Amino acid sequence: MGAGILALAPDQNTSATGVLSATQSKGLPIPRKAIIPAALSSFDAKGRIDYADFRRHISSLAAVEGVSAIMVNGGSGLDKALTREERRKLLGEALTAADNKVPIIAALRESETISKLAPLAKDAETEGVAAITIMPPATKEGYLWDAAQKRFEETCEASSLPVVIYQTRYETDVLVRLASSFPVVGIKEGSKDPATFEKNLRALRALKQNIAVWSTHSKWLLADLAIGADGILSGMGSITADWHVALAEAVDRSDLKTARSISDRLFPLTQVFYHPGQNGHIRMMYALKQLGLRKHDFVRPPFQPLDAAERARIDQALVLSGLR
């Protein structure tokens, strides 16, 4: 791991030195101050996972100085198109490719063929990852306390791994109760509103439990970091992990000029990746291919490939950002 923001810095309200300790996880520890790319899966023209291409992707991310961990099987991996067996194999492949350079976090979410998170949690622990991310629920009711509590209880009973919550629409009081009731060590904060982000950040800080809050608001990372985010957990990190590291380090040393310069380079990419319409991660898969970092940009149903206009916009954004 690199220096700067990724050094294990004590929280101002606790003597703990990192998010995970050796006794909390079977895998490598994850520092509180962290840059965590969410890895993209790779499919060939027949819809099969190209595990060799995936391993190259993980290896390249793990080699970026300053990357703290890598999340696998989240939305950036088009998880809803993956079987349980494929998700487990991708975790094993990621652990092998990372080669103990960085820890692996397993994202867990239900699908049409996977109704519960518990089996996925068991698989993740068996494979030896460092933590699990509980992805957002599929229904509005899932964000209410009773449903959320039951979902988290079932998952945590199946695994002793530390938990990261992907926050999107939990009310602040529900988020705080979840963080207080389960072995939560981090929040992937994606409330999609700066004011809500700050409200949640302050409420979690008040717990004095050394819970990391990582921004996934790729369209305004600089703002979240300036408010106090501990780092970044984002699918866009699959392309811009080095820039995310540099941005967080610049904010950490109060170098606003450098932080703005990096944010300016990220801007064209965020505008095209997160534009309404097509899945943003499919756009990122195409960008990686265009940059020579992946072999494929194929997708499985129900996801659809990009049309010519989408591809042209991404090509232009890569030029504007200085990547091409």
201-232 residue pLDDT tens: 999 999 999 999 999 999 999 999 999 999 99
Q: Which pLDDT score, from 0 to 100, does residue 276 have?
A: 92
pTM here is 0.92
pLDDT of 318 over the 50 cut: yes
- Contact between residue 124 and residue 163 where contact means Cβ atoms under 8 Å apart: no
Lowest mean pLDDT among 1-10, 64-73, 225-234: 1-10
Mean pLDDT of the chain: 92
pLDDT of 8 over the 60 cut: no
Cis amide leading into 136 (omega within 30): no
* Distance of alpha carbon 90 from alpha carbon 128, whole angstroms: 12
Task: Give every CB contact of residue 276 below 8 A, 6+ residues apart in sequence.
Answer: none
Rounding to the nearest 10 degrees, give the CA dihedral for residues 101, 105, 106, 108: -170
Beta strands per DSSP E along the chain: 34-37, 70-72, 104-108, 131-134, 163-167, 184-189, 212-215, 231-234
- Contact between residue 301 and residue 78 where contact means Cβ atoms under 8 Å apart: no
Residue ranges per domain, the chain?
4-255
pLDDT of 14 over the 90 cut: no
* Distance of alpha carbon 67 from alpha carbon 304, whole angstroms: 30
Q: Architecture of 4-255 per CATH?
A: Alpha-Beta Barrel (3.20)
Start-to-end C-alpha separation, the chain: 27
C-alpha distance from residue 103 to each of 69, 77, 171, 268, 308 (Å) = 5, 17, 30, 30, 37
- Contact between residue 185 and residue 18 where contact means Cβ atoms under 8 Å apart: no
Q: Hey, is 189 helix, strand or coil?
A: strand
- Contact between residue 105 and residue 61 where contact means Cβ atoms under 8 Å apart: no
Q: Which pLDDT score, from 0 to 100, does residue 28 have?
A: 81
pLDDT of 10 over the 50 cut: no
Q: Which pLDDT score, from 0 to 100, does residue 19 have?
A: 54
Lowest mean pLDDT among 43-47, 48-52, 298-302, 309-313: 298-302
Beta strand 70-72 pairing with 34-37: unpaired
